Amino acid sequence: MTRTRPNPWLLIPQPNPQASLRLFCFPYAGGGAVIFHKWPSFLPTEVEVCAIELPGRGTRIREAPLTQMTTLVQAVAQVLVPDLDIPFAFYGHSMGAVISFELARQLRREHGLTPVHLFVSGHRAPQIPDTDPPTYNLPEPEFIEELQRLNGTPVEVLENPELRRLIIPILRADLSVCQTYVYEADAPLATPMSAFGGLQDEDVTRDLIDAWRYQTTAPFSLRMLPGGHFFIQTAQPLLLEILSQDLIEILP
* Residue 172 vs residues 76, 91, 176, 196: alpha-carbon distances, Å: 20, 23, 6, 25
Our answer to whether residue 244 is catalytic in this structure is no
Q: Buried b vs exposed e over 64-79: b needs ≥16 C-beta within 10 Å?
A: ebbeebeebbeebbee
Separation between Cα atoms, residue 96 and residue 207, nearest integer Å:
19
* Residue of 94, 100, 121, 194 marked active site: 94
Work out the burial of residue 188: count CB atoms within 10 Å of its CB; fewer than 13 is exposed, 13-18 middle, 19 or more buried.
middle
Length of the chain: 252
Output the DSSP codes for 92-125: EETHHHHHHHHHHHHHHHHH----SEEEEESS--
Candidates 165, 93, 160, 98; CA nearest to 129 is: 98
Positions marked catalytic: 94
